[in-house]
Amino acid sequence: MPKNNLYFNEKDDIHINLSSYLGYDTILLLLDSCRGTGKSFQADNLPYNQFKKKQYTTIFLKRRPVDITTGYILGIRDEINKFKSEDDQIQFYFRDGDRKEGIVDVYLTKEDLKAKDNVFIRIIALGISSDRIKNSKLKKVKYVIFDEYKIDTRDVRNKYLPNEFFKFQEFYSTYERFAPEGLRCLFLGNAYSDYSPYQEALGINPNEIKLGCLIRGKHGKYTFTYTKYKPTEALMNKLIGDDPNILNDKYERFAILGEAINDENIMKYDHLPRNFVLRNVFKISDKYIGIYKINGSQTDNDVNFMYYAQEIQWKPEYKRIAYVFELDDLTSGSILPSRALMEYLAPIKLAMNFRQIAFKDIGLYYSLQYAYNYIPER
C-alpha cells in the first residue's frame, strides 16, 4: 500500500488523499465532499507530523468560543491516536477555562503546559475581537485547518459571522508573520451548498461548481484551489452498499454524492425579467443587492415569480426610488428595526419562503437570508 507523505498512517486507494491537493501549493485549499471520504481524519493527523518534524504549531479555526468544546479538542487527540500503538498514544494538556476566551493552546506534556512552551495546536474562534487575535503570537506555524467551514443554514442556529472573510483576513495577516515557510489553509466542508462567504469573496462562481471540479485562481494575495471531491468508484460502492435504490433518497445523494441539498429550492433566473422595477436595495458589506418587483402582469413567458434579485452597481438616484437597507448598521447595533421597516421588508421574506423570488445567482439568496437573520419577526 502506498504511503501518504504527509501522514504516518498508511492510506488506501479508496479514500481522499489530501497530499495530492496540497501539492497545488496555494494559500487556500477549499475542499467540499460527501461524508466518509476521510478528509477530517487526515487533517487531524497533519499536526503531529509537522510538530514532530519541525516543531510547527497547527492552528484549528472555529467560529465562536462556544464551538470550542472539550469534546471537540479531545476528538482531535482520539483521531491521532486511532492507529497508534498503545505505547505511542499521545495526551493533550490544556487549560479548560481558556475555551470561553476563544483561544486554547494544547500541549503534549504537562511541563510544556506549565512553561507555556512548545504549543502543539492552537484553537482560535474567529469571532473574538480582532485585537485579541492581533495580540496573540506563536513561534512557528505552517498550517491552518478549518473543518466544517461550510455550515448547514437550514438550522437557524447556524450562522456565518458578520463579514467573516474580512475576519479571516485579519487573522491571516497576524499569523503569516510566524510562518517561515508560508501559511497554508485547509478549509474542509460537507457540500450542503455551493455557496460560502469564502467562495463568494474569492470570486468562485457557484454555477461552475460540479462534482469533481477543480477551480484555481487568485484574489488579492490569496492564491486558492477549490474542489468538490468526486468519490472513487470503490468508495461509492462501499457507501451505497447492498441497496441499489439508496440514491433515490435526497439526503443520501447529499451524503454519498455531495449534492448541495440546501440549494435545491433556490429559484435561479439569469437576467432581469421584463416589467420588473427596483423596490429595495440591500447593502451588505461592499455589495449592493437590488430587489425588483413585477410591475403589472406582462413579463417574460417563463417567469412565475413576483420578485427578482441581482447584484447592482450603486447609483445615488436609487435613494429616490427604493428603500436602501444597510445591514452593517443593523449588525453593529447602531439602528433597531422599526415595526414599519419590518412590515416593509416582510413581503420579500415571504417571497423567499414561498419561492416567489428568483436570483441571478445562489450567493444572493444566502446574503439575503443572512440579512433577515438580523430582522426580528413581526
Report whether 348 contacts 292 (CB < 8 A): no
Q: In the chain, what percentage of residues exceed pLDDT 70?
A: 88
Residues contacting 207, CB < 8 A, separation 6+ = 361
Q: Is a pLDDT exceeding 70 seen at residue 205?
A: yes
The confidence band for 369, taking pLDDT boundaries of 50, 70 and 90, is: confident
Q: pLDDT tens digits for 91-132?
A: 999 999 999 999 999 999 999 999 999 999 999 999 999 999
Report whether 51 contacts 208 (CB < 8 A): no
Instruction: Give the phi and the psi of residue 217 in degrees, each rounded to 5.
Output: -175, -165
Q: Is a pLDDT exceeding 60 seen at residue 9?
A: no
Report whether 72 contacts 157 (CB < 8 A): no
Q: pLDDT tens digits for 56-93?
A: 999 999 999 999 999 999 999 998 998 788 888 999 99
The confidence band for 3, taking pLDDT boundaries of 50, 70 and 90, is: very low
Alpha carbons 126 and 170: distance in angstroms, whole number: 9
Residue 215: what residue type?
I
Regarding pTM above 0.85, the answer is no
The DSSP string of 308-363 is EEEEE---TTHHHHSEEEEHHHHHTTS----HHHHHHHHHHHHHHHTT-EEESSHH
Average pLDDT over residues 210-218: 92
Alpha carbons 139 and 323: distance in angstroms, whole number: 50
The confidence band for 1, taking pLDDT boundaries of 50, 70 and 90, is: very low
pLDDT score of 6: 42
Distances (CA, A) of 71 to 67, 157, 265, 348: 10, 20, 34, 40
Average pLDDT over residues 42-46: 83
pLDDT score of 329: 63
Average pLDDT over residues 274-283: 90
| Mean pLDDT over the full length of the chain | 85
Other residues' Cβ atoms within 10 Å of the Cβ of residue 113 = 18
pLDDT score of 37: 78
Query: In a 3-state reduction of DSSP, which class is residue 254?
Result: helix
The confidence band for 317, taking pLDDT boundaries of 50, 70 and 90, is: confident
Please report the domains of the chain, with CATH numbers, ordered by start residue: 18-237 (3.40.50), 276-372 (no CATH)
Report whether 357 contacts 267 (CB < 8 A): yes
Q: pLDDT tens digits for 147-187?
A: 999 988 777 677 888 789 999 999 999 999 999 999 999 99
More confident residue, 222 or 154: 222
Q: Is a pLDDT exceeding 50 seen at residue 10?
A: no
pLDDT score of 261: 77
Alpha carbons 140 and 118: distance in angstroms, whole number: 9
Q: Is a pLDDT exceeding 60 seen at residue 333?
A: no
Report whether 257 contacts 246 (CB < 8 A): no
More confident residue, 323 or 165: 165
Average pLDDT over residues 350-376: 83
The confidence band for 373, taking pLDDT boundaries of 50, 70 and 90, is: low
pLDDT score of 4: 34
Residues contacting 344, CB < 8 A, separation 6+ = 323
More confident residue, 331 or 248: 248
pLDDT score of 121: 97
Question: Which of 122-131, 212-221, 250-259 shows the lowest mean pLDDT across its residues?
Answer: 250-259
Sign of the alpha-carbon dihedral angle for 146, 152, 153, 158: negative
Query: In a 3-state reduction of DSSP, which class is residue 306?
Result: coil
Sign of the alpha-carbon dihedral angle for 115, 134, 71, 16: negative
Q: Is a pLDDT exceeding 60 seen at residue 206?
A: yes
The DSSP string of 101-134 is GTEEEEBSSHHHHHHT-S-SEEEEETTS-HHHHH
Alpha carbons 228 and 212: distance in angstroms, whole number: 5
Q: Is a pLDDT exceeding 70 seen at residue 338?
A: no
